[in-house]
């Protein structure tokens, strides 16, 4: 009865709907990176200045206020470089993972009743070396049954799905998943209880890094899990982010060194939208899909990932300054998935 | 003790009447102080906001919202067409029934559609669609002048023209007068139905907590009762007046009766035109009104018949004074001007719903007033002549109404 006249259309379906939004963003993307790359220093500086003004000064997008990491108990800036190698006991690499229900702030002032691994979204970034024996001790402290399903090559009994092996772990229950670290690359782990989309969308996912035996060249390594939150339960996301908090890297840029190799472990954990993407301004990167080959597939500035897809990006910043990165699904960008690198000497 | 209460009862019956009120107040106070003993809140907060008014200025979309639910609402983010937008708000927390203004900064473009979403602290969303965005006109002198002009065009002038049928009605015979009165009733019936429907539709747009569609019916009942009271009062005055005059009950009284009926018809139509003006004004304010000849011509034809309805009751009652006729015309037509002003500058769905209800109730009362005059010589109310008049009234209003769409 209420809102009889109103057209209640939720247009956040696929890639459409973004056309009517601010025209400034895509236009700038097309112009500035190339100028900054190929032009002289003065052009680059002018572009950066213009850039800064366009993105910070316009006031046309960006959330109002900031999220205090203290309330959440985790900080997207810490998550970036927080790789958890667990503890090696008797030749087996082990982790303890606790599922718990927790209210988190996903955009300034906007709370979301999340389900978490170890109290954070995304869950801990598990890191092992190819061929190691791994053991994950899982305790379910949530009010709902959960599992942990790892991407990788292993026996069905440790696959972490309902009905096979240990199956669903009831509230208060626990189980152990044990398998070998293979193949090397960047993988994902997530809850596989039904309804599946809901269990993932509420925050039960994390990155799982298996380093090749010989390792990778030293680099400033960053984890970026692209995610979103359906705060009003209409099965489409209201808030988008990298590492959970909308605009976290807009409010405080990620600091990196000029000329240093930067390696980004990029995971798409988004639900309800088919695609997500990553675009870097004024730079290009080598792209290793799933990280399972040591040769890059692509040298590009934009990459698209479907649900559950991931890949490794390697790049160096030739200039100091502030460089934007965001989903080139512009709609996601303006709903929280955008940030800055601050490149320093 | 017993003697004391008896004395109290004798002294003031009002005091004893206050006892339940005092006990109730004490009970409520205790209940609230103890925080509703035995009752635990279940479920999650129900956050609801109704958008009462949208004001568009260059680079800004302002929403006037009212808390429509049982729980306080905290707006924390604003999203316009799938992008977070910066905003300011008059209140960090909007309590039950409370209102607030949310000003969203956004470079909107004229003629485009926008979807504004307010994201609350719990992640709930309040959706508001803006169709064909256009700047909200400033309420300056020129604007009020324009609204007055529209009101004149659609209200006052057509009604005045319709009243020019008076000399013609005077000449036709009594059966035709009955037909015209039946025609008037049909016409009024159409307006009443239209007012109820339109009021209900607008009420659906306002906050449910203020009454929603019930406001239309409350307004209708209130107006009906108030007019019935006024009518009884006028009747009483007329009777005491006629006894005072003694020997002239004929022409003077007939004229007064006719004028009274005409006044009530004019008042009912006036209240209806208030609602019509309101609709026009608010449509203009949100830019959805195609101002132009078609609209004015449509309303003119639609409302000219209303002039006929006003003069029909005075046709048989001797010479009506010009002053009276002008007054009747203004009572019926001028509220369109007032309605346009209110609609364009301070539109509120709940207020509009009440006004449409008042219009419908007033018309219902007028119909009850003039229905006896349709009665044929044999006492039947729905004679073939009367029913054809009623149907003609409905048909003409429907046909002329096709030319009007606000």
H/E run at residue A259: none
Alpha helices in B98-213 (DSSP H): 141-151, 157-162, 166-171, 174-203
Judge whether B56 and B135 are in contact, CB under 8 Å.
yes
- Is residue A37's pLDDT more than 80? no
pLDDT for the residue B252: 65
Largest interatomic CA distance in chain A: 68
| CA–CA min distance A230, chain B (Å) | 8
* Count of alpha carbons within 13 angstroms of residue B172, beta-carbon side: 14
Query: Number of helices (H) and strands (E), helices first, in chain B?
Result: 13, 8
| CA–CA min distance B104, chain A (Å) | 9
Query: Is the backbone of residue B63 left (phi > 0), alpha (psi -120 to 50) or beta?
Result: beta
pTM score above 0.90: no
Query: Number of helices (H) and strands (E), helices first, in chain A?
Result: 7, 21
Residues of chain A in contact with residue B117, where contact means CB-CB under 8 angstroms, are 238
Judge whether A191 and A146 are in contact, CB under 8 Å.
yes
Q: Which residues contact B202 (CB under 8 A, 6 or more apart)?
A: B349, B352, B353, B356
* Interface residues from chain A to B (CB-CB < 8 Å): 1-12, 17-18, 20-22, 59-65, 106-112, 229, 231-232, 234, 238-239, 246-247, 331, 334-336
Q: Which residues contact A4 (CB under 8 A, 6 or more apart)?
A: B201, B204, B205
- Residue B356 CA to residue B345 CA, distance in Å, equals 18
- CB burial of B20-33 (b: ≥16 within 10 Å; e: otherwise) equals eeeeeeeeeeeeee
B89, B122, B123, best to mutate vs chain A, most A CBs in 10 Å: B123
Residue B234 tokens read as 């006028």
Which residue in chain A has the smallest CA separation from B119? A110
Per-residue pLDDT of chain B (406 residues; tens, 9 = 90+): 566 666 666 667 778 888 889 999 999 999 888 877 777 766 667 888 989 888 899 999 999 999 988 889 999 999 999 899 999 999 889 998 899 999 999 999 988 899 999 999 999 999 999 988 888 877 778 888 888 888 888 888 888 888 888 888 888 887 887 888 888 888 888 888 888 888 888 888 878 778 888 999 999 999 899 888 887 887 787 676 555 444 444 566 667 777 777 888 888 888 888 877 887 787 777 666 655 666 667 677 777 878 888 888 777 666 667 888 888 889 988 998 898 888 877 778 888 888 888 888 888 887 887 788 777 767 777 888 889 989 998 998 888 777 765 5
Residue B112 tokens read as 């485009």
Tell if the CB–CB gap between A229 and B205 is shorter than 8 Å.
Answer: no
A27, A61, A330, best to mutate vs chain B, most B CBs in 10 Å: A61
Cross-strand bridge partners of residue A112 = A104
Q: Which residues contact B118 (CB under 8 A, 6 or more apart)?
A: B49, B63, B65, B75, B77, B78, B79, B102, B125, B126, B128
| CA–CA min distance A294, chain B (Å) | 38
pLDDT for the residue B171: 84
Residues of chain B in contact with residue A110, where contact means CB-CB under 8 angstroms, are 76-77, 119-123
Helix, strand or coil, per DSSP, at residue B78: strand
| CA–CA min distance A308, chain B (Å) | 23
Tell if the CB–CB gap between B204 and A5 is shorter than 8 Å.
Answer: yes
Closest alpha carbon to A232 in A204, A281, A278, A272:
A272
pLDDT for the residue B276: 79
| CA–CA min distance A10, chain B (Å) | 9
Query: Closest to B82 (Cβ–Cβ): which among A4, A21, A63?
Result: A21
Closest alpha carbon to A108 in A246, A304, A299, A9:
A246
Residues of chain A in contact with residue B86, where contact means CB-CB under 8 angstroms, are 59-62, 64
Residues of chain A in contact with residue B68, where contact means CB-CB under 8 angstroms, are 2
Query: Closest to B208 (Cβ–Cβ): which among A2, A5, A231?
Result: A2
Cross-strand bridge partners of residue A285 = A300
A110, A245, A338, best to mutate vs chain B, most B CBs in 10 Å: A110
């Amino acid at each position: 009865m209420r809102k009889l006249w109103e057209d209640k259309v939720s247009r956040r379906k696929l890639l459409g709907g973004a056309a009517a939004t601010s025209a400034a963003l895509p236009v700038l993307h097309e112009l500035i990176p190339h100028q900054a790359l190929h032009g002289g220093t003065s052009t680059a500086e002018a572009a950066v200045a213009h850039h800064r003004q366009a993105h910070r000064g316009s006031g046309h997008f960006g959330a109002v206020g900031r999220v205090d990491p203290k309330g959440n108990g985790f900080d997207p800036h810490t998550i970036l470089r927080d790789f958890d190698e667990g503890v090696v006991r008797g030749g087996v690499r082990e982790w303890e993972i606790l599922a718990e229900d927790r209210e988190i702030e996903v955009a300034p002032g906007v709370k979301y009743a999340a389900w978490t691994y170890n109290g954070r979204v995304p869950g801990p970034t598990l890191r092992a070396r190819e061929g190691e024996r791994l053991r994950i001790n899982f305790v379910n402290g949530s009010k709902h049954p959960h599992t942990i399903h790892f991407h990788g090559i292993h026996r069905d009994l440790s696959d972490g799905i309902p009905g096979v092996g240990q199956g669903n772990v009831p509230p208060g229950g626990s189980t152990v998943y044990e398998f070998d670290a293979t193949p090397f690359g960047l993988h994902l782990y997530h809850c596989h209880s039904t309804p599946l989309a809901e269990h993932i969308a509420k925050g039960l996912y994390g990155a799982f890094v298996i380093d090749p035996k010989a390792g990778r060249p030293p680099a400033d390594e960053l984890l970026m899990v692209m995610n979103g939150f359906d705060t009003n339960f209409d099965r489409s996301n209201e808030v988008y982010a990298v590492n959970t908090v909308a605009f976290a890297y807009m409010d405080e840029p990620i600091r990196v060194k000029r000329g240093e190799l930067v390696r980004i472990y990029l995971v798409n954990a988004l639900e309800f939208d088919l695609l997500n993407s990553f675009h870097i301004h004024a730079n290009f990167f080598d792209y290793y899909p799933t990280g399972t080959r040591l040769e890059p597939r692509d040298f590009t500035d934009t990459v698209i990932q479907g649900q559950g897809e991931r890949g490794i990006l390697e790049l160096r910043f030739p200039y100091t300054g502030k460089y934007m990165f965001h989903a080139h699904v512009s709609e996601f960008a303006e709903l929280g998935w955008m940030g800055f690198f601050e490149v320093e000497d | 003790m017993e003697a004391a209460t008896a004395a109290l009862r004798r002294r003031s019956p009002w005091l004893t009447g206050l006892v339940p009120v005092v006990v109730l107040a004490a009970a409520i106070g205790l209940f609230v102080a103890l925080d509703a003993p035995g009752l635990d809140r279940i479920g999650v907060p129900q956050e609801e906001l109704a958008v009462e008014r949208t004001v568009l200025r260059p680079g800004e979309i302002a929403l006037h919202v009212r808390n429509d639910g049982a729980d306080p609402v905290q707006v924390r983010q604003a999203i316009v067409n799938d992008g977070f937008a910066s905003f300011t708000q008059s209140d960090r927390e909007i309590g039950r029934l409370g209102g607030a203004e949310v000003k969203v900064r956004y470079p909107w473009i004229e003629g485009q559609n926008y979807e504004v979403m307010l994201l609350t602290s719990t992640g709930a969303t309040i959706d508001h669609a803006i169709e064909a965005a256009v700047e909200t006109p400033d309420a300056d002198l020129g604007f009020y002048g324009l609204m007055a002009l529209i009101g004149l065009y659609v209200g006052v002038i057509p009604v005045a023209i319709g009243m020019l049928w008076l000399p013609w009605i005077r000449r036709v015979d009594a059966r035709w007068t009955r037909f015209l009165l039946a025609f008037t009733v049909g016409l009024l019936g159409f307006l009443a139905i239209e007012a109820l429907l339109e009021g209900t539709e607008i009420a659906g747009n306002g906050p449910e907590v203020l009454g929603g569609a019930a406001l239309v019916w409350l307004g209708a009942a209130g107006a009906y009762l108030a007019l019935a009271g006024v009518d009884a009062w006028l009747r009483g005055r007329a009777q005491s007046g006629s006894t005072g005059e003694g020997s002239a009950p004929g022409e003077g009284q007939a004229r007064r009766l006719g004028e009274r009926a005409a006044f009530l018809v004019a008042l009912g139509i006036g209240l209806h035109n208030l609602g019509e003006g309101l609709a026009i004004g608010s449509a203009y304010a949100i830019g959805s009104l195609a101002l132009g000849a078609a609209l004015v011509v449509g309303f003119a034809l639609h409302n000219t018949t209303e002039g006929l309805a006003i003069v029909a009751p005075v046709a048989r009652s001797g010479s009506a004074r010009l002053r009276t006729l002008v007054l009747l015309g203004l009572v019926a037509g001028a509220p369109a001007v007032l309605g346009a002003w209110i609609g364009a500058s301070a539109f509120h769905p709940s207020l509009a719903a009440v006004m449409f209800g008042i219009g419908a109730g007033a018309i219902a009362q007028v119909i009850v007033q003039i229905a006896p005059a349709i009665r044929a010589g044999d006492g039947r109310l729905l004679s073939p002549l009367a029913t054809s008049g009623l149907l003609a009234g409905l048909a003409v209003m429907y046909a002329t109404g096709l030319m009007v769409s606000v």
